[in-house]
């Protein structure tokens, strides 16, 4: 990635942090990986330890902040713990970046802040950056507060990007293919999206959606919930043919589509591993 020589990544032992580290190293970028979980090649640190972080960030041209509690932790961790790690932790990482003189910052956020999908009798939701946030859990609300902290911290000495990342869990191949039609993303694409976002930081960063490229178009919302098979046969026949050949059941409906075209355009980023890639990987 031209223009970046050294970065620091919090949450480097996690799925997204690891993807960023791997993509950076493929581009000959020096990486300092940081995580609360000790593992090979990663420095153990708590994101709330500002002093330790500031030392680790020295020389980094960009800090990628992926560390935090996520959706699977809801109900397992207290709301106070969510606030401490996701909000106070983000504030600590920002202070450490400022102390270290790092002038670029990329925050990993989530498309889950937009709320759920359409009800059974409603057209699918077409979701882009103009849609309002509809937080439903402590995870969503703390991610929104973390975004606000990043936006407030930008200015003369810091520019930032905010990546609202789509679904990126390891899942059965059938589910993964379905989600990548409308709201999922491959982990390699997530790593590339973050690095491209780092090259497009600004002083008033709009949180942007990063998901796989969808075959659907605005205006498809009614068909996504009422005549999905016909729409799939029209837009992506390979998807239907592969599902039929494998004996996989097509979904009855898709309740939402996340549109990542703004991030693709503004970050000069193109997701490469969509639904077709996930199906090819699962059948070879």
Query: How many angstroms separate the CA atoms of 173 and 154, rounded?
Result: 40
Which is it for strands 125-127 and 256-258: parallel, antiparallel or unpaired? parallel
CA 96-80-104 angle, to 5 degrees, is 25
Instruction: Go through 76-102 and write b for each residue having 16 or more CB atoms within 10 A of its CB, e for each that does not.
Output: ebeeeebbbbbbbbbbbbbebbbebeb
Between helices 228-235 and 237-246, what is the axis angle to 10°? 110
* Contacts (Cβ under 8 Å, ≥6 apart) of 254: 117, 124, 178, 181, 182, 216, 224, 225, 228
235: tokens are 């837009």
Q: Does the annotation mark 238 as catalytic?
A: no
Residues 82, 144 contacting (CB under 8 angstroms): no
Beta bridge partners of 208: 163
CA–CA separation, 39 vs 167, rounded Å?
A: 25
Look at the block and give the residue holding tokens 């409603």.
122
Instruction: Find the catalytic residue in 139, 179, 238, 258.
Output: 139
User: What is the set of active-site residues?
Assistant: 139
């Amino acid at each position: 990635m031209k223009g970046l020589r050294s970065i620091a990544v919090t949450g480097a032992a996690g799925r997204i942090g690891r993807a960023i580290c791997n993509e950076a190293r493929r581009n000959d970028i020096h990486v300092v990986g940081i995580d609360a979980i000790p593992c090979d090649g990663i420095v153990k640190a708590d994101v709330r330890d500002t002093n330790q972080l500031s030392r680790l960030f020295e020389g980094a041209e960009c800090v990628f902040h992926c560390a935090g509690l996520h959706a699977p932790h809801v109900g397992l961790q207290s709301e106070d713990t969510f606030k401490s790690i996701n909000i106070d932790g983000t504030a600590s990482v920002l202070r450490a970046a400022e102390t270290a003189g790092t002038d670029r910052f990329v925050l990993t956020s989530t498309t889950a802040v937009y709320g759920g999908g359409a009800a059974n009798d409603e057209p699918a939701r077409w979701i882009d950056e103009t849609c309002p946030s509809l937080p439903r859990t402590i995870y969503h609300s703390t991610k929104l507060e973390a975004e606000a902290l990043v936006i407030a911290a930008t200015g003369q000495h810091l520019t930032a990007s905010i990546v609202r990342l789509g679904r990126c869990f390891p899942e059965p191949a059938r589910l993964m293919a379905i989600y990548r039609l409308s709201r999922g993303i491959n982990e390699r694409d997530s790593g590339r999206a973050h690095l491209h976002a780092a090259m497009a930081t600004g002083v008033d960063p709009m949180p942007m959606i990063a998901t796989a490229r969808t075959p659907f178009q605005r205006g498809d919302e009614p068909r996504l919930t009422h005549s999905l098979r016909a729409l799939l046969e029209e837009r992506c026949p390979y998807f239907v043919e592969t599902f039929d050949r494998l004996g996989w059941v097509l979904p009855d409906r898709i309740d939402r589509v996340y549109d990542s075209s703004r991030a693709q355009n503004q970050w000069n980023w193109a997701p490469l591993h969509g639904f077709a890639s996930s199906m090819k990987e699962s059948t070879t």
